[in-house]
């Protein structure tokens, strides 16, 4: 082997090693860069996810759980306008609002919730603030909310003498009770919760000097909702579930918008039973079940 040939071989070896090294290094650098890029992308995705959760945590919850509002929610103001002008039409689309007043009770509200679940429908519950003072009642309110129903105001005491002395509105007392109930609801459902829907004990239409309340509600973007149908579980003589059903059917006849007044408080066992007739009746007649928010 001559010298030239020897150095040529050496050179080839050196070049090969060098080339291998360069290629190897390039691959390593490239892989590291790609890894870093992916890591950065993942971190960015995670940041956006956490930001979304944080944002949702701070968003107000009005009347019901967000997905329930989306799916079943109906603007209470619109219904207020309809009811106050006795216009129960809805462009051929039938909607029914099952509403329950004076609860939660520890006896009947859980059964009402079970029945609503059984039929897969949602309802609106008008809460009497002081009913939440009973043992076990806050948990039932929480369950009501968690199962996608709407939560609304029905004063704290339900005491006509305080709310409407001499049958005439006392705005200060009334507003105090709205605030007191709001606080009681927040204690159970969290500070982000509030409801813009109110049903006056005895009904808005029953009392004198209600204009100041109307103005208050307008200023606070709230709506008062009475009813245009009922099962009459709080009127006249005590009825059995079948009579309650007949009353509900009769009073909602020929109405495309039905807001049906019922009670889930103590002693309303027959109302619970009547739901197994009332709900299928509205379903068979093409009504959609909505909630007031």
| Part of the chain binding Zn ion (CB under 5 A), chosen from 93-101, 170-178, 238-246, 273-281 | 93-101
Binding residues for Zn ion, rule CB under 5 A, total: 3
- 226 in contact with Zn ion (CB under 5 A): no
42 conformational bin, left if phi > 0, alpha if psi -120 to 50, beta if neither: alpha
Smaller CB distance to Zn ion: residue 101 or 226?
101
Whichever of 200 and 222 has its CB closer to Zn ion, that residue is 200
101 touches Zn ion by CB under 5 A: yes
In angstroms, the CA 233 to CA 271 distance is 7
What minimum distance in Å lies between the beta carbon of 70 and Zn ion? Answer: 29
Q: Please report, as residue ranges, which positions from 183 to 222 form the binding site for Zn ion (by CB under 5 A).
A: 201
Q: 233 or 270, CB closer to Zn ion?
A: 233
What tokens does 243 get? Answer: 């009579």
DSSP code of 235? S
Query: In the 8-state DSSP scheme, what is residue 99?
Result: E
Cα separation, 121 vs 116, in Å, equals: 5
- Here the tokens at position 210 are 């209600």
Tokens found for residue 201: 């004990």
What is the residue whose two structure tokens read 């005895």? 202
Question: Closest CB to Zn ion among 102 and 177?
Answer: 102
Q: Nearer Cβ to Zn ion, position 102 or 226?
A: 102
Residue from 102, 177, 233, 264 binding Zn ion (CB under 5 A): 102
Binding segment for Zn ion among 37-45, 97-105, 106-114, 244-252 (CB under 5 A)?
Answer: 97-105
Determine whether 194 is exposed, middle or buried from the number of CB atoms within 10 Å of its CB (0-12, 13-18, 19+). Answer: middle
Position of minimal CB gap to Zn ion: 101
């Amino acid at each position: 082997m001559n010298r030239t040939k020897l150095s040529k071989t050496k050179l080839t070896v050196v070049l090969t090693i060098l080339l291998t090294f360069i290629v190897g290094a390039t691959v390593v650098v490239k892989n590291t860069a790609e890894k870093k890029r992916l890591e950065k992308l993942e971190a960015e995705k995670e940041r956006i996810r956490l930001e979304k959760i944080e944002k949702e945590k701070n968003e107000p919850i009005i009347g019901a759980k967000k997905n329930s509002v989306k799916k079943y929610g109906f603007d209470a103001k619109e219904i207020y306008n309809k009811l106050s002008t006795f216009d129960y039409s809805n462009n051929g689309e039938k909607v029914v609002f099952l509403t329950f007043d004076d609860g939660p009770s520890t006896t009947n509200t859980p059964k009402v919730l079970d029945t609503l679940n059984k039929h897969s429908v949602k309802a609106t519950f008008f809460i009497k603030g002081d009913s939440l003072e009973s043992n076990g009642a806050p948990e039932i309110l929480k369950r009501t909310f968690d199962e996608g129903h709407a939560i609304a105001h029905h004063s704290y005491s339900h005491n006509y003498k305080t709310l409407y002395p001499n049958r005439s509105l006392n705005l200060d007392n009334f507003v105090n009770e709205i605030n007191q109930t709001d606080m009681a609801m927040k204690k159970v459902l969290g500070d982000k919760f509030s409801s813009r829907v109110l049903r006056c004990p005895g009904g808005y239409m029953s009392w004198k000097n209600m204009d100041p309340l109307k103005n208050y509600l307008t200023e606070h973007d709230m709506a008062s909702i009475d009813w245009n149908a009922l099962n009459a579980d709080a009127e006249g003589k005590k009825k059995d579930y079948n009579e309650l059903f007949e009353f509900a059917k009769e009073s909602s006849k020929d109405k495309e918008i039905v807001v049906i007044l019922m009670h889930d408080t103590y002693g309303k066992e027959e109302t619970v039973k009547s739901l197994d007739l009332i709900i299928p009746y509205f379903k068979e007649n093409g009504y959609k079940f909505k909630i007031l928010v």
